[in-house]
Amino acid sequence: MQTQCNQESLEFHPLNQRQVVGRFDGGEITTDAGGLLLREVEQRTGIIARFAGCFRDHRAAGQVEHTARELVAQRIYALALGYEDLNDHDQLRRDPLLAVLAEKPDPTGESRARERDRGKALAGKSTLNRLELTAAVVKSEERYKKIALEMEAVDRLLVEIFLEAHATPPAEIVLDLDATDDPLHGQQEGRFFHGYYGCYCYLPLYVFCGDHLLCARLRPSNIDASAGCVEEAARIVAEIRQAWPEVRITLRGDSGFCREELMAWCEQEGVDYVLGLAKNERLKQEIVEEQEQAAAEFQATGQPARVFKEFFYQTRESWSRARRVIAKAEHLEKGSNPRFVVTSLGPEAWEARRLYEELYCARGEMENRIKEQLMLFADRTSTALLRSNQIRLYFSSMGYTLMEALRRLGLKQTDLAQAQAATIRLKLLKIGALIRITVRKVWVSLAGGYPYAELFAQTYAQLRAFPSPC
């Protein structure tokens, strides 16, 4: 027999002699009070406002209840707080705390024009999806989808945010390039089967500098992993050099980016590179002695052994010139494990072992940054069109950029200084609080049992130490 639940109270298993009773009578309670810290970040960086400025709103101003800035803010804050679907917003539109984050003048929603909307300060899913589905050019006969995104402006903005994060220009920077799979489960435009990943997917290209995201480009998967990387690198490098003309730039990537086009462009533009090089029989023949030496050392010690060698190498057809190659002859318990890297950096600056172990292997940290994009739901590319899925990717990218700014400005020298986005969300943003809104104040009574109150206070103090330009 199915249990019949009383709608006014929920009786749980008792605690000894005490009844445990739950009721939905707590008033306006949110689970996301830590989002106020993200709002403080926004007040100091303007990330959301500037992203909203990349949209062109063609709606009649007198008929607009939700500005483009409010819609963009609602969507990005929700992603940062863990709400991945537009469908979530049909419930979230009642949340006064999210309305505060989105800068709604009336966070209660009681002043809405239509009676059916009163008490719902925020937009629902049908309004929000117009941000994604509006075409690049809005036609005069279009009735609903009238908020168009200028993608080139977003690309520039990501680099601008990176530049502004540095008080002084660095002497040198490393730009990491990588591609990853974005599995698809529908009939999306640009959907292809990828043999390596074994699924239908997109193949987005990411460019990072440390923790900073500089590019997120959605691409179909029926292409080479390096496709378009020269164009993206040229755009990013030009913008960086305009601000920092003296900075030394190195591109780093795995063997999927070891292509003549990219290396030749780097050599022409004075950009260094460190790229993985796929092994072949000619390369392995170059390190026969070193591989034997590593095997002998392994037999003697029982520990993994590495021997490095460098030499100049040129392919028979594809490369235009010979280039410096670093070879790692390694022997592990499972057998030999040779690896190769090609670079424009000279031995006077980077000795072979140090270049491989300290510079090239550091690219593995980029994998963590890509995982963080998924924590902000960059894989929710389920619309029918490639353009609208790219816009979704931009929203996730801006959500990540906001979270990274929180980590950089508010969490420095704390236990979460190196934490990933999901950990920050769980420990710092998901806080229960009672919301009370009066004519003059918004009272947010945070949960007394919150275990990280000291960390929250420290983060708040560090954010408040930065002046707000807003």
Given a cut of 50, is residue 2 above it in pLDDT?
A: no
136-166, pLDDT tens digit by residue? 999 988 988 999 999 999 999 999 999 999 9
What's the predicted TM-score (pTM) here?
0.93
172-201, pLDDT tens digit by residue? 999 999 999 999 999 999 999 999 999 999
292-313, pLDDT tens digit by residue? 999 999 999 999 999 999 999 9
What domains are defined for the chain? Answer: 29-149+393-464 (no CATH), 152-375 (3.90.350.10)
Q: Tokens 């000795």 belong to which residue?
A: 351
Given a cut of 90, is residue 39 above it in pLDDT?
A: yes
pLDDT at residue 410 in the model? 97
Considering Cα of 96, then 97, then 102, then 107, what sign does the dihedral take? positive
**Which residues sit opposite 248 in a β-bridge?**
172
193-248, pLDDT tens digit by residue? 999 999 999 999 999 999 999 999 999 999 999 999 999 999 999 999 999 999 99
Given a cut of 80, is residue 340 above it in pLDDT?
A: yes
Q: Any idea what the Cα angle at residue 27 is, between residues 21 and 32, rounded to 5°?
A: 100
* Residue bearing the bigger pLDDT, 249 or 22: 249
Given a cut of 90, is residue 6 above it in pLDDT?
A: no
